[in-house]
Amino acid sequence: MSQPVKNIVLGISGGIAAYKCAELVRRLTERGCKVKVVMTESAKHFITPLTMQAVSSEMVADSLLDPSAEAAMGHIEFAKWADLILVAPASCNILAKMAQGIADDLLTTLLLATPAKVAVAPAMNQLMYAHPATQANIATLRARDIAIWGPGKGEQACGDVGSGRMLEPLELVERCLAPVQAPVLLGKTFTITAGPTREPLDPVRYISNHSSGKMGFALAKAALELGATVNLISGPVSLSAPEGATLFPIETARDMLNSALQLAPQSDVFIGCAAVADYRAATIAEHKIKKQGDEITLTMVKNPDVIAHVAALKENRPYTVGFAAETQDIQQYAKAKLKNKNLDMICANDVSVKGLGFNANDNALSLFWSDDCLNLPTTSKQQLAMQVMHALSKRLN
């Protein structure tokens, strides 16, 4: 991992979200970054070069054919100076140009000439963002190791609601200052399960557990940041899938098994992070179960073991990683599951510790292989997920 970014070129394309760029530059400079701004002609309709010059304390570049700048090959100097080039807002037009390698203005030219890390913060109408052409362009850029930051969801300037909002300045600042991750998982496909399952008893009741999905979603995000393609099979949670992941929502353990067996043979790695219900009702009542005295007896039957089924695949078996949430004898139970389920790796955690595990933002894990182990101390689930992915990458490469 490299040191936090200091020299940033902010490329502003045409979009109403350009008004946020003044705040973005101000926040970056407060944190010690040097920011140079490049604007497209369209961008100048939404925010002026004078405004961006004032907040950055740097002359704004907006022309590829400026004789004074190009006498010294200005666009090449910009490209070499930057530690990071962030295009924000990134309109669907600029994304299309980048995907096709078009260089018809200063911004698109320096994007082809830079050795620096490049990130884009998409901002557009939700229908434009969802269009297959835009999605194909984003997939192309991601495959070239260009970071896709966002978009967020919510109400848009046109009144529509959906994906397409540029991330807020402070979130972009956080990403700019985060250590740059090498794409060690580029070319790998991950399928990750997350969250709980729900096993119905009748039309209004079900059996479930306290899993929030936070660890599985953190793993999906970390894998994406390291260059992987990610399928995310998730039970009912209140989280939004990380941008770039393909979400497969499910309800029951059998639903999860069906999705897992469909996706696992197409994957390099399968991670079973979901808290799958061990049992389900033998029969589901057609109507709501009424009170029947002080006690009720339910007959339960065993659910399929999703991770064991994946690990038992005879053809196109992925590298299979399980999770073990235990309350005692963590190492003993984890090693037994590793062996009995024919896993390549297992991540174990103690859910009896207050503030860790289910619904918490932090966790601690012990990683076990047949020939080694690694203890990861308490930290945020997102940081922990990145550590897991780096440990995995060493086994895959």
* CATH code where residue 283 lies: 3.40.50.10300
| pLDDT values of the chain reduced to their tens digit, one per residue, 397 residues | 445 568 999 999 999 999 999 999 999 999 889 999 999 999 999 999 999 999 999 989 888 766 555 444 455 777 888 899 999 999 999 999 999 999 999 999 999 989 889 999 999 988 999 899 999 999 899 888 898 888 887 776 667 777 788 999 998 998 888 766 778 898 899 999 999 999 999 999 999 998 999 999 999 999 998 889 999 999 999 998 887 899 999 999 999 999 999 999 999 999 999 999 999 999 999 999 988 888 888 999 999 999 999 999 999 999 999 998 777 777 888 899 999 999 999 999 877 777 665 667 888 899 999 989 999 988 889 889 999 999 999 998 7
Task: Please report whether residue 184 resides in a domain.
Answer: no
217 is in an annotated binding site: no
Whether 212 and 290 share a structural domain = yes
Please check whether residues 150 and 276 belong to one and the same domain.
no
Is 305 part of any known ligand binding site?
yes
Within a domain: residue 80?
yes
Annotated binding residue at 362?
Answer: no
Give the domain extent around 84: 7-177
Any known ligand binding at 278? yes
Q: Does one domain contain both 143 and 221?
A: no
Q: Is 307 annotated as a binding residue?
A: yes
> pTM here?
0.68
In 3D, which of 23, 38, 32 has the Cα closest to residue 170? 23
- Torsion over CA: 223, 225, 228, 232 (sign): positive
At 69, which CATH number?
Answer: 3.40.50.1950
Residues 216 and 306 in one domain: yes
The answer to the question of whether 304 is labelled as a binding residue is yes
- In this structure, are 172 and 272 located in the same domain? no
Q: Does 182 fall in a domain?
A: no
128 and 232 part of one domain: no
Same domain? 329 vs 275: yes
Please report, for residues 107, 253, 273, 342, the alpha-carbon distance to residue 277 in angstroms, rounded to integers and kept in the order given. Answer: 52, 7, 12, 20
Show the beta-strand stretches assigned E in the chain: 7-12, 34-39, 84-90, 117-122, 147-148, 152-155, 161-165, 189-194, 199-200, 206-207, 229-234, 246-249, 269-272, 279-281, 300-302, 319-326, 345-350, 362-368, 373-380
Give catalytic residue positions. Answer: 158
Residue 288 labeled ligand binder: yes
Domain count, the chain: 2
Q: Is residue 230 part of a domain?
A: yes
Peptide bond into 249 cis (omega under 30): no
Task: Say if residue 123 is in the same domain as residue 203.
Answer: no
Distance CA 312, CA 99 (A): 40
